[in-house]
Structure 1
Amino acid sequence: MRFTSLSGPFCRVCGTAVFREFTARTLWQGWWSPLSLVLFTPATLVINRVALRRINRLPSPGPAVGAGLTPGPRVLRRKSSLVALIPLLWGLWVLSHIVTVVAA
């Protein structure tokens, strides 16, 4: 388990690029332990979403000194984010079995 953060002077576009990359990484790599499945990954996704609100208030990019970051595709349009469907489907499967047992 590893927590990563990045600080620095960002414009809105670069901040969005970092948010999308870190959130996609969390969706890809964050589910692989039981504690992460139920606690750390959902908390990290909420923290990332709160950070996005701050990122959206950043100023627009100014004259470029160097090459800026490109935001790339949205988080849920990245192939690596589809891995998040595994714990979601597993959770639905567990919930359906619980409902089936209680109803029986």
Structure 2
Amino acid sequence: MTFRAHQGVLLWMRFSSLQGPFCRPCGTAVFREMTGKTLWQGWWSPLSLVLFTPGTLIINGVALARINKLSAPVPGQPGQQLQPGTPVLRRPTSLAVILPLIWAGWVIANIINDLTS
């Protein structure tokens, strides 16, 4: 399973991924971390706004759906499991998605205003 993160900064972008065999709690924790980073850092370039960040979020959602189909880990399994942590939309970083939505709304409003004037 692979989870991805995307960072868009004006004219350049950075992609990262974390691949591994995850149990359900570990996969959920990695999903929440990588998706939270993408929601905070992914929107800040034009291509990121319309293409790469939404694509990354969709890919991570599909991976989470596959993780959620796994059975719960059995006590006594080797290795320490990650704590899933706070859900993505309850994290402060998810509030950053409001800014690019406001910006996109402003751009669309200006385009409509120019077309109607």
Given the two structures, how large is their TM-score scaled by the length of structure 1? 0.86
Other-structure match for 2:57 = 45
Measured after TM superposition, the shift of residue 35 of structure 1 is 1.7
The yes-or-no answer on 1:72 pairing with 2:47 is: no
Structure 1 segments unaligned to the other structure (5+ residues): none
- Identical pairs, percent: 62
Greater helix proportion: 1
Measured after TM superposition, the shift of residue 10 of structure 1 is 1.4
Measured after TM superposition, the shift of residue 99 of structure 1 is 3.0
Structure 1 counterpart of 2:14, one-letter code: R
Measured after TM superposition, the shift of residue 7 of structure 1 is 2.1
Deviates more, 1:3-12 or 1:50-59: 3-12
Q: Secondary structure at the match of 1:66?
A: coil
Structure 2 segments unaligned to the other structure (5+ residues): 1-12
Query: Which residue, 14, 17, 21 being the options, matches 2:26?
Result: 14
Measured after TM superposition, the shift of residue 90 of structure 1 is 0.8
CA RMSD in angstroms comes to: 1.6
The yes-or-no answer on 1:33 pairing with 2:41 is: no
Greater strand proportion: 2
Across the two proteins, how many residue pairs are aligned to each other? Answer: 104
Residues 41-71 of structure 1, C-alpha deviation per residue, up to 9 Å, x if partnerless? 1111111111111111122112243331111
Give the Cα separation in 2 of the matches to 1:73 and 1:101: 43
Measured after TM superposition, the shift of residue 5 of structure 1 is 2.0
